[in-house]
Amino acid sequence: MMTTTPVPARRDLSEAPLLVAARGGAPAHVPVWFMRQAGRSLPEYRRLREGVPMLSACFDPELLAEITMQPVRRHGVDAAILFSDIVVPLRAAGVNIDIVAGTGPVVAEPVRSRDDVARLPELEPEQLRPVAEGVRLLVERLGRTPLIGFAGAPFTLASYLIEGGPSKHHARTKALMRSEPELWHALAATLARTTSTFLRAQLDAGVDAVQLFDSWAGALSEKDYREFVLPHSAAVLADVAEYGVPRIHFGVGTGELLPAMREAGADVVGVDWRLPLDEAARRLSVPGLPAPVVQGNLDPALLAASWPVVEDEVRRIVAEGRAAGGHILNLGHGVLPETDPEVLTRVVELAHSL
């Protein structure tokens, strides 16, 4: 991938509960953060974003830093997650992609041929300067709270490029993958380099952990995942191993893929709400390896239920998480926009009391 660069000095957060749990230690309390916690459900986020396109906000250092800080101030979570989007590195490299309200990422010219792959631009670290500057601002302002960087995994990025936008069935992606495997691997390798460059830019600027989102990998069989996806996700995770920070790997509907996702090089494996964490830990256990660390997995929809329901679910999930070598409490996917922020705050307070 990229040439080796000196690993930057980081804040000493050796006692931070999230980082302790991610490394299989015994944290002072159950650590908790929420996917998509920066924005969506927060009224202060909506005010700040008014009239500002999503991708414009992602390339504004002050704005992305402030949005990232908002849920830390409001909820007292154990980590900030960088405000960004999985298509940011594609946009930075020069791919004509945008986020359309109510739809999601839309690609002007889908990638479906060898020439299309050859025309994809390589991402250069300099193109990510605004993101790196935002990370540096956050490292200065977060105090003792860790900052998680993130990127989309090659398969999920490829699915957007091939389909031209969001897809329920990923039909074109699967067809290309199986019909033209050499073309698929060329595309996935290109995107692995892009993802690695994006993560390394965040790491060089000071993030304390990274999460690789393979949002749509659950659409695949284990056989196809191992053949067409695992090598490229593994390349990304291996390329950032030298930084020595926890690497989290997450996808939706990936219960049957969890062992392979750990094999890709993850230190922590995120689990969605479909599978109990004790069963996830069992599937992830490998003789001779340390007990697996899991992240998850409260159903985001249940945050709309009454508080007794939410409380029971949090207690159940924390109890099941004790079967693993470590547990970071999170949702099984992102915060829904209609979620009451007060419920998120109460979940954090409850987790810290258990």
Could you state, in chain order, the average pLDDT of each consecutive group of 10 residues for the chain (354 residues)? 52 95 97 91 94 94 97 97 95 91 86 95 96 97 96 96 90 96 97 98 97 95 97 98 97 96 96 97 94 97 98 98 98 95 98 97
CA nearest neighbour of 278 among 325, 348, 347, 330 = 325
The CA distance from 328 to 32, in Å, is 6
Please state the separation of Cα 259 from the chain's center in Å. Answer: 18
The CA distance from 345 to 96, in Å, is 38
The CA distance from 183 to 61, in Å, is 36
Q: Is the peptide bond before 96 cis (omega within 30 degrees of 0)?
A: no
- Token pair belonging to 293: 């660390």
CA nearest neighbour of 147 among 76, 195, 89, 206 = 206
- Looking at the whole model, is its pTM more than 0.75? yes
What pLDDT, on the 0 to 100 scale, is given for residue 2?
A: 44
What pLDDT, on the 0 to 100 scale, is given for residue 3?
A: 44
What pLDDT, on the 0 to 100 scale, is given for residue 222?
A: 97
The CA distance from 310 to 343, in Å, is 9
Q: What are phi and psi of 278, to 5 degrees?
A: -65, -35
The CA distance from 88 to 55, in Å, is 7
Q: Which residues are catalytic?
A: 36, 40, 49, 85, 160
Task: Give the CA count within 13 Å in the CB-facing half-sphere of 324.
Answer: 32
In eight-state DSSP terms, residue 59 is T
CA nearest neighbour of 292 among 260, 313, 269 = 269
How far the first Cα of the chain sits from its last, in Å, is 43
CA quadruple 266, 270, 274, 280: dihedral, nearest 10: 50
Residue with tokens 């810290």: 352
Question: 82 and 149 in contact (C-beta within 8 Å)?
Answer: yes
Q: Which residue type does 350 have? A: L
